[in-house]
Structure 1
Amino acid sequence: MSRSTAAAAADGGAESRTSRTPATAPVSGRGAGHPDPAGDPILAAKFCLPSVPRESVRRQRLLDRLTEGTAGPLTLITGPAGAGKTTLAASWAREGSAPGPVVWLTAERDDAAPGVFWAYVLEALSHHGAGLPDEVGRPGSADSVDHALLARLAAALAQLRRPVVLVLDGLDRVPGREVAEGLDFVLTHAGGQLRLVLISRVDPLLPLHRYRADGRIREIRGADLAFTRQEAARLLRGHGLGRYEESVDALLARTEGWAAGLRLCALEMRRADDPAGFARSFAASQSPLADYLLTEVFAAQPAATQDLLLRGSILDRVHPDLANALTGREDAEWILAQLTRAHVFVEPVDATPWCRYQPLFSEVLRMHLRHHRPGLEPRLRRRAAVWLADAGRLAEAVEQAAAAGDWEWACARMVNRLEIGRLLTGPEAHRLERLFARLPGDLAGAAPALVAAACALARYDTAGARTLLDRAAEDLREPGARPSPQARLALALLRLLAGTGAQDGDGAGRAARTAARRTRELAGQVPRPLVEAHPEIEALRRYGLACALQLDGRSDEAPGAFAYAAEGCTGEVAQAVRHHCLGRLALMEARRGALRRAEEHARLALEIARHRSVPPARRSGIGHLALAAVALERCELREARRRLDLAAASPDAGYDPVADAEIAVTRSRLDLAHGRRHAALAAVEAGHARAGPLPPWPAQLLALARAAAQLARGDPASAIAVLDGRGPDGPDRTLALAQAHLAAGDPDRSLGLLAPLDGRPDAGVAERVRLRLLRARAATLSQDHETACGLLRDALALARPERMRGPFTEAGPWVAHLLKRRPDLAAGQAWLAARPEGANGTSRADGRPPAPVTVERLTDREREVLRHGAELLSTEEIAEAMYLSVNTVKTHLRSIYRKLTVSRRGDAVRRARELHLL
């Protein structure tokens, strides 16, 4: 397609000059045959409205803005070539909504002389019947215009009965400041009777800031001219492509709504055998778009600008300093400023020095670069990679190196500049991992193996990471190899994060401590400024040690290690590590019964993930699991279920053994809370089946959950079998084993197991509460109710600050029976029944959640008394309404207070409403 054909094809974006129609017939005796001040004849074609393509889309939103604009003195339409500026103005002129006659003038480069320009303006006004008197005169010189002539013109315009709209198309072709100053003078002194519409690729030299401050300008910019999805769909329908409207999104993604691009694509689709396929995969280099952009835009630029455009096209975004590095020049800032001002498909990025190319324009330029400068592109990309990496834009640097095929440089950079941790944490981590996923597997050397191992860890593939780390270690031990401290540090850190694979308890913990010490020693051998520039290395080291301690079942050490790791996460790049640390810390705190701290840390972990540049693919579900554990301990089962579902949908679900074990355990506990005992056991079995061989801590979690499910089924022997000899001999296992023996009818064995736990200084709230409940249960079985009440009172006092209801509801009905027998013990324990959600697994006929087992059911008569009390009736009024004696009503009220563990009528009403009894 030729240049003129492409220009004519663009939907108002090409400003075609080949076919024009006059807006009105000339009414003045001054014909177009008069010469201009330079002696050339006046060309009447410049006064004709451009034709509008038959398939043009009527864009009412922009037509309305033009109408609004011409109610004031100045309307400015700017945008790149092919944006649809001329077609928009011509369509509007034909609409007939202008406040007066429309005078059209198409400016050209030959009109740059002030005298010639104003001669054409005066002739255009006369041609379209503006009614100016002959006394206004004409310019006598091509190079200048008499100020008195402009004053006479302004005065004559001010005397018009109706405003006149002067549309100046292509004002960018008349660059002189003298012309702009003259326009400003006439517009200012025409008394509101001149309405100026300027069409230009660049902002004119008018004092636009003053017009904006005074509210006397309306602007339609390139972004406004971009086609919306609805408009693009109408464009396809206008070209007979209504069946292919599903292609609109693909076309908009490539053209960004550029009018000429969409129009040319529609024409090509109409000729294609497979229009939808063309829309999905068309290449700009194979379409008339390339011809249009190269001839209309690229070829119109000076040689230096063309060179910068070509070299910068390898980038999505270009910085002036980067452009200088690519061109070897020092004027990139000025050239880019000119390009953005002229709307040459280059635009600034968010008020920064960076600029971006329009995607199609960039694609065409790259094609042109490869064709005319073969072999240059890889060299440019390597140069760009170095600049970007030094500027801290690591992912973009790797992207350029990968495009150049220089994987060796990319891997060496990651290792030698200590950037290996950026694959595991930081805003660019996920993008870097996806880039290095294309890393060829046959690259030799330790650096590619180390990078590949970090990528495997990012995908939770610890086994694959260990294999790659073994290969890297062999390369570093090769004869003659002189590995840098950075390479040895990267190997040690990744080994720590990958673990040893040991499942035998102490071995994993000792190995992790050794690896953590080794990593710290190697960090001391790296240049200090390099280490300080990468705080994520120390954060990952601490986190790796904490994770190893957790997996090893070191529940006494791991929480402190996670807290220490979270403190070491400084800087934005380490926030992903902090997110994981706080989530795991919260989960361990929840298991210890520190529910308030657990909730605080879990919510902070989730808040960091949302607002501190942690990519969604790197967000852990551990924080949601911690909140599910807190909700379970508080018998808030709906919240626990909601958090469990969120955790199960998180990216680390199915990969992290701790998360997977906790998901299975939480699901099992929820099933038990709802009385689904077989489902609870099945959930634990499914957790074992998915996980395979497990480290000590997840294995113990699942064993405890399986034992709880067996006990709920009335099979203490199976629970004992599950617990005997399994996992670390810690307090959680001891408590579960003691509970199983107590259920099996062996209180002496149970108490013997509990004896070592008495007075443990580092025992958590959960351990101390459950220990007292087990001893209280043993006391009730031996009919020692005073001891049982004392132990239950202690347990309630410990649990109350954390609102820990779970141990009491899970303990069984004996707690409720004991509280019923001792109202003094139940008094003040209203928190036990707050927000009940079916914790005992029973259901009500009316669908409302049942009261917890610690509250005795009210009789029908007591509920009726309570309803009258809620209506603020006095005791006497209640007695009269129910045909009872006053003393009988008082007896019912005392019973209600005892059952609801309150002492006043108002508290009883509030409590009953919480329990859905009213």
Structure 2
Amino acid sequence: MAEDAQLHPSGDPLLAAKFAVPAVPPAFVARQRLLDRLTEGARGPLTVITGPAGAGKTTLAASWREADLAPGPVVWLTVESDDNAPGVFWAYVLGAFRYHRVPLPDGVGSPSSADNVDHSLIVRLAGALAQLPEPVVLVLDGLEHAGGHGIAAELDFVLAHAGPSLRLVLIGRVDPALPLPRYRAEARVCEIRGSELAFTQRETAQLLRCHGLTPSRESVGVLTERTQGWAAGLRLCALAMQRTEDAEHFAQSFAASQNAVSDYLTAEVLAAQPAATQDLLVRTSILSHVHPGLADALTGRDDGARILGGLVRDNAFVEPIGDTSWYRCHPLFAEVLRAHLRSRSPALAAPLHREAACWLGAHDRLTDAIEHAAAADDWPYAAGLLVDRLATGRLLTGPEGPRLERVFRSMPDGLPGTAPALAAAACALARGDAAAGRKHLAGARPGRDAAPEVLLTRALLGLLTGADTGTGSTAPRTPATAGGGDGRTPPTEGWDPDRGTPDPDRATPDPDREVRALMDRVDRALLARHPEIEALRRYGRGRALLAAGHGSEAREAFAAALAAAADEQTWTVRYHCLGALALSEAVDGLLREAEAHARDGLKAAEEHGIPLDRRTARCHLALAAVAADRGDLAGAGRYLAAARAHATAHDVPAAAEAAVLRSRLELAHGRATAALSALDDVPVSADGPARAGGEAAGRIAVARCSVHLARGDPAAALAALGEAPTGGPAVAVAAAAARLAAGDAEPARRLLAGLPGGDRVPPAVRVRAQLLEARSAAVEGDTARAVPLVAAAVRTARPQGLRAPFTEAGPWLRHLLARAPGLADAGAWLTGRSADTEKRSGRGTGTRSGPEDAAAGAPLLVEQLSPRERDVLRCAAQTMSTDEIAAELFLSVNTVKTHLKSVYRKLSVSRRSEAVRRARDIGLL
């Protein structure tokens, strides 16, 4: 049981039975001809055993394994109808290897979604199997249940790339969707068909003798002919013949038709049972697995354990599940029982589901209970279970989240009551649709006497969606500490560029304080069983702080949430915290931290199997921003493309950051019109851009200002900043840049002087502010003041490899670096030149040092190339001669040479090959 506990932390007893090799029945006929065929087939990569239900396929493979005829360890997985999604199927395959103690490397990972599997997981699994020291036999019993969604193609890939280490045995009623003709042509498949599985007359006689019967040759012939050697039919006949007074007559009259099994099971198995047993079997047919206590609840009696045990002893198509107290009907018998319930007592199903929900809920099998309540169409009770047991957090995070979300996705809209509204809000939030969550929350109106669990659920969802629940306390709008802090809420109103300070006089409801107060009112034992509540609270606090423009405090809150997200129930929270941290750090110029958190987030998504529909684009966006700020435009483009795979219209801040990055890349390539268009593509939440957070709108406004400044239109740049609903240091610095470009130096200086001191201004904004001050001094001819400002900006940027503010500063900075001896070290770092190159060029002895310089790829501080210069450079990259370039572009040779010299100057190189290489490094080619 220790192994089971390790495999099934949820306590679900079903998995062990799926991995266990089925027991060989007592009255078993060892058919050596088939055992030899299977042994021969297992010498090759693929063995396919197909035949009708009850043909003896599973029994053959189980007896072969019991006889120890396999070339190595046998890993068994029984595939069921619920396993038809790729993520579920491959999760069970990996679980089967663990169950049968066939070790795979830790780095293989887990599926990320019930509906999809990353191809990288399949590649890692194939590679791990190829490295096994001895062959392993993987038996997949019932593969037809997992025949869709590309699972067969993934199996084919694993089999092709695992080499001789994997011997695959597929058992099913139909051929697998593998390219069997190709395997046959290559002589790499052994096929055991229904005709071979059919019993011969000699084997039929042996089977009947194993059941204590002494049939005549004529009876053996009749049974074999009429059943066509069908193993299950013969076994059913043998069981019936044991209980009949005239076995010979039964054998002579048995008719093998399409409905023979169903008719026989109904008439000879079900009808043969005592009334109490029949009643239990029919009532428990709504269950996939039966517990004696649950059977008692459905029958109203106390004989469940005795009846179920007797059915097992009598081989009456009921079997125990491993070493647990649970039982399972044979699938054929179970279907007969469900059909009987549908036809004889259709009105009984809903009350039975409701009773099962009550029993399962009382025995801490909450997800099963909710599913049965939903099957009974009792949505108020299902939602009540979710809310009253504080399980809403489980819907948002943890391994049972997708299963619960699928249940409530079917709940009708507009159901009255607080619990259905809260369940609908949680379901919307699980899909990432905070706007829909807020709408559902508006319909959740618990009374003053509502249970604290209900109030806590509503307050927590309100914190996570950004909804105003209207019941929170008020607090001064000052920054709070992370992880709970003093409960005070930070300011969210706009930054006044002329004053540079927020308004301290307003107050607002504090949802985080409300959540913490309600947590104190909930039963401590219940709260201890739900660690995801505290992790979600801290994560929600971080989101609120981030939306209010308080990046530093938000990051502290996310770090506190990471500390609270320490078990499998909180893995989704941990992943989203890492993404939020990474993107916030990247926006503020903390590139080292952003890169580390983003990569940790991507790793966590793979290792913990975060479903694809619950992933975020933020980790990839953070890496794109890091690459862009370090000057790696090509890398930024790749990460931005990867982010699109996880982008959702509901994540407005992430969509805004993606638009900003697209705009930056377009602008870096000289496409100002496209850069502006990229900023117009941001999706808006249902309640408008302002509701999505002023920070996102502010980022868009600053990016639009940058494009207008690049086009030489400071008036349009200032107008763009007016679109920001909130302000902050970034908006103030952008306004100062626009003022300076317009020739209004004094207002620009006032804006910069009003910035907060110390670390309250992020590094990326601080560097841009220092460069603006240096530019103002340089324009006035005050080189003595400009040089130390540039040097200070370099000192701020260099630890993070933050080069973008310098490359975007304009030609004035390049000219200053060229003539100011005091900036030799800065120039060396910015241009990516080595110390020797700097010495030869007479520009100083500055060198690159530190890992951030190597990691940054040494992008250049360059002046923007003209469109014609870019055309010449593209031709040069194709190794065209000067004459060929002139002919291609319809230019004179001298004009081409002039353009090339200008390109060399702007890229700080002296040869054509260096120009091409550096242009590729910074994404110009």
- Per the shorter chain, which TM-score range? 0.5 to 0.7
Instruction: Give the number of the structure with larger relative contact order, counting CA–CA contacts within 8 Å between residues 6 or more apart.
Output: 2
One-letter code of the match for 2:533?
A: I
Tell me which of 701, 709, 730 is aligned to 2:699.
701
CA distance in 2, matches of 1:260, 1:509: 88
One-letter code of the match for 2:774?
A: A
Q: Displacement of 1:730 after TM fit?
A: 1.5
Query: Which deviates further from its counterpart, 742-751 or 667-676?
Result: 742-751
Tell me which of 621, 634, 637 is aligned to 2:633.
637
One-letter code of the match for 2:655?
A: D
Structure-2 change in CA distance of 1:371 and 1:583 (3 Å): same
* Matched residue, 2:418: 446
Q: How does 1:406-425 map to 2 (within 5 A)?
A: 406-425=378-397
Q: Does 1:490 align with 2:457?
A: yes
* Matched residue, 2:654: 659
Structure-2 change in CA distance of 1:644 and 1:450 (3 Å): same
CA distance in 1, matches of 2:649, 2:54: 52
Q: Displacement of 1:572 after TM fit?
A: 1.8
CA distance in 1, matches of 2:229, 2:617: 48
Structure-2 change in CA distance of 1:509 and 1:62 (3 Å): farther
CA distance in 2, matches of 1:612, 1:504: 38
Asked if structure 1 preserves the Cα contact closer than 8 Å seen for 2:598 and 2:622, the reply is yes
CA distance in 1, matches of 2:393, 2:577: 16
Q: Displacement of 1:471 after TM fit?
A: 3.1
CA distance in 2, matches of 1:916, 1:471: 51
One-letter code of the match for 2:305?
A: E
**CA-to-aligned-CA distance 1:194-235 (integer Å, 9 cap, x gap):** xxxxxxxxxxxxxxxxxxxxxxxxxx999646543269999x
Q: How does 1:396-435 map to 2 (within 5 A)?
A: 396-435=368-407
Structure-2 change in CA distance of 1:586 and 1:225 (3 Å): closer
Tell me which of 499, 506, 510 is aligned to 2:466.
499
Q: Does 1:571 align with 2:557?
A: no
Structure-2 change in CA distance of 1:693 and 1:812 (3 Å): same
Asked if structure 2 preserves the Cα contact closer than 8 Å seen for 1:499 and 1:508, the reply is no
* Matched residue, 1:807: 805
One-letter code of the match for 1:697?
A: E
CA distance in 2, matches of 1:847, 1:263: 73
One-letter code of the match for 2:795?
A: A
CA distance in 2, matches of 1:303, 1:686: 69
Q: How does 1:303-452 map to 2 (within 5 A)?
A: 303=273, 310-318=282-290, 322=294, 326=298, 328=302, 329-331=304-306, 334=309, 344=317, 362-441=334-413, 443-452=415-424
Tell me which of 659, 675, 689 is aligned to 2:670.
675
Structure-2 change in CA distance of 1:908 and 1:298 (3 Å): farther
CA distance in 2, matches of 1:289, 1:509: 82
5+ residue gaps, structure 1, are 1-46, 50-59, 71-76, 90-219, 235-258, 265-286, 851-858, 861-894, 902-906
The secondary structure found in structure 2 opposite 1:757 is coil
Q: Displacement of 1:519 after TM fit?
A: 1.7
One-letter code of the match for 1:476?
A: G
Seq. identity, %:
43
Asked if structure 2 preserves the Cα contact closer than 8 Å seen for 1:512 and 1:548, the reply is no
Asked if structure 1 preserves the Cα contact closer than 8 Å seen for 2:383 and 2:420, the reply is yes
Query: Which deviates further from its counterpart, 494-503 or 447-456?
Result: 494-503
Q: How does 1:255-266 map to 2 (within 5 A)?
A: none
Q: Does 1:65 align with 2:22?
A: no
One-letter code of the match for 1:229?
A: P
Q: Does 1:628 align with 2:624?
A: yes
Q: Displacement of 1:731 after TM fit?
A: 1.0
Q: Does 1:601 align with 2:597?
A: yes
* Matched residue, 1:751: 749
CA distance in 1, matches of 2:59, 2:597: 60
Asked if structure 2 preserves the Cα contact closer than 8 Å seen for 1:81 and 1:297, the reply is no
One-letter code of the match for 1:834?
A: G
Tell me which of 469, 476, 483 is aligned to 2:447.
476
Structure-2 change in CA distance of 1:86 and 1:453 (3 Å): closer
Asked if structure 2 preserves the Cα contact closer than 8 Å seen for 1:586 and 1:623, the reply is yes
The secondary structure found in structure 1 opposite 2:443 is helix
5+ residue gaps, structure 2, are 1-28, 44-48, 62-166, 182-227, 234-255, 470-491, 495-501, 833-847, 883-903
The secondary structure found in structure 1 opposite 2:774 is helix
The secondary structure found in structure 2 opposite 1:820 is helix
CA distance in 1, matches of 2:307, 2:178: 37
Tell me which of 715, 718, 723 is aligned to 2:721.
723
Q: Displacement of 1:841 after TM fit?
A: 6.3
Asked if structure 2 preserves the Cα contact closer than 8 Å seen for 1:664 and 1:687, the reply is yes
The secondary structure found in structure 2 opposite 1:330 is helix
Q: Displacement of 1:386 after TM fit?
A: 3.2
* Matched residue, 1:40: none
CA distance in 1, matches of 2:352, 2:547: 48
* Matched residue, 2:787: 789
Structure-2 change in CA distance of 1:443 and 1:510 (3 Å): farther
Structure-2 change in CA distance of 1:744 and 1:588 (3 Å): same
**CA-to-aligned-CA distance 1:256-287 (integer Å, 9 cap, x gap):** xxx999999xxxxxxxxxxxxxxxxxxxxxx9
One-letter code of the match for 2:261?
A: Y
Structure-2 change in CA distance of 1:68 and 1:697 (3 Å): closer
Structure-2 change in CA distance of 1:69 and 1:541 (3 Å): closer
* Matched residue, 2:758: 760
Q: Does 1:229 align with 2:162?
A: no
CA distance in 1, matches of 2:815, 2:438: 56
Tell me which of 729, 733, 736 is aligned to 1:738.
736
The secondary structure found in structure 2 opposite 1:476 is coil
Tell me which of 275, 282, 295 is aligned to 2:264.
295
* Matched residue, 2:73: none
Structure-1-length-normalised TM-score: 0.59
* Matched residue, 2:584: 588
CA distance in 1, matches of 2:660, 2:920: 33
Q: Displacement of 1:598 after TM fit?
A: 1.0
Q: Does 1:518 align with 2:514?
A: yes
Tell me which of 611, 616, 638 is aligned to 2:612.
616
**CA-to-aligned-CA distance 1:224-251 (integer Å, 9 cap, x gap):** 46543269999xxxxxxxxxxxxxxxxx
Asked if structure 1 preserves the Cα contact closer than 8 Å seen for 2:632 and 2:859, the reply is yes
One-letter code of the match for 1:753?
A: L
* Matched residue, 1:83: 55
The secondary structure found in structure 2 opposite 1:395 is helix
* Matched residue, 1:532: 528
One-letter code of the match for 1:490?
A: T
* Matched residue, 1:145: none
Q: Displacement of 1:908 after TM fit?
A: 14
The secondary structure found in structure 2 opposite 1:745 is coil
Q: How does 1:26-37 map to 2 (within 5 A)?
A: none
Structure-2 change in CA distance of 1:332 and 1:509 (3 Å): farther
The secondary structure found in structure 1 opposite 2:758 is coil
CA distance in 2, matches of 1:655, 1:744: 38
CA distance in 2, matches of 1:678, 1:792: 31
Q: Does 1:649 align with 2:596?
A: no
Structure-2 change in CA distance of 1:383 and 1:792 (3 Å): same
* Matched residue, 2:66: none
The secondary structure found in structure 2 opposite 1:816 is helix
Structure-2-length-normalised TM-score: 0.58
The secondary structure found in structure 1 opposite 2:791 is helix
Q: Displacement of 1:743 after TM fit?
A: 1.8
